[in-house]
């Protein structure tokens, strides 16, 4: 199964995300495809599976961002599943984004007249923490460990 990925680059000094405008393809093997199919309907489980998978991290470090030790990225899109709202949410974002984050962060509106801006600010506070959880820091040591194990096997 082939997946298409888009990424965002995280600038720590400015605390902002910038879209990498390229689309990258990755071919999953049979076992990975089974896991993907289990997680594809639960977006954050799918995201975390990729974030924690050696095969994915090695692919990103070797193929997508070589020589980028210390670079911080995040997954923006996996096929038709988008995480853009996490990185680019604004108080003026659409109602669907508000509803998604109100449910995710268990935010209860006290009344219909409650100020949308107030809810948006609360969402942004929760997103500060969530965004940090989504960031993938590309470390040289992960690839080195894999290369060392390959050398030992040979």
pLDDT at 145 over 60: no
Report the C-alpha gap between 93 and 114 in whole angstroms.
Answer: 16
The whole-number average pLDDT for the span 54-72 is: 90
Average pLDDT, the chain: 88
What is the residue extent of each domain of the chain? 2-144
Burial 9-46 (b: 16+ CB within 10 A, else e): bbeeeeeebeebeeeeebebeeebeeebeeebeebeeb
Share above pLDDT 90 across residues of the chain, in percent, rounded to a whole number: 71
Report the C-alpha gap between 138 and 68 in whole angstroms.
Answer: 7
3-class SS of residue 60: helix
Residues 16-40 pLDDT 10s: 999 999 999 999 999 999 999 999 9
Among 8-12, 50-54, 67-71, whose mean pLDDT is lowest? Answer: 67-71
Residues 78-136 pLDDT 10s: 998 999 999 999 988 998 999 999 999 999 876 665 578 888 999 999 999 999 999 99
- Of residues 151 and 89, the one with the higher pLDDT is 89
3-class SS of residue 98: helix
């Amino acid at each position: 199964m082939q997946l298409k990925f888009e990424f965002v680059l995280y600038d720590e000094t400015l605390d902002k995300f910038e879209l990498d405008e390229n689309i990258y393809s990755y071919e999953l093997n049979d076992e990975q495809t089974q896991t993907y199919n289990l997680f594809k309907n639960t977006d954050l489980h799918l995201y975390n599976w990729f974030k924690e998978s050696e095969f994915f991290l090695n692919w990103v470090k070797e193929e997508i961002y070589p020589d980028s030790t210390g670079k911080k990225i995040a997954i923006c899109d996996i096929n038709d599943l988008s995480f853009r709202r996490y990185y680019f949410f604004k108080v003026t974002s659409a109602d669907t984004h508000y509803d998604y984050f109100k449910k995710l962060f268990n935010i209860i509106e006290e009344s219909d007249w409650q100020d949308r801006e107030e809810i948006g600010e609360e969402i942004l506070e929760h997103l500060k923490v969530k965004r940090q959880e989504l960031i993938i820091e590309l470390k040289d040591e992960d690839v080195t460990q894999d290369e060392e194990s390959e050398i030992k096997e040979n």
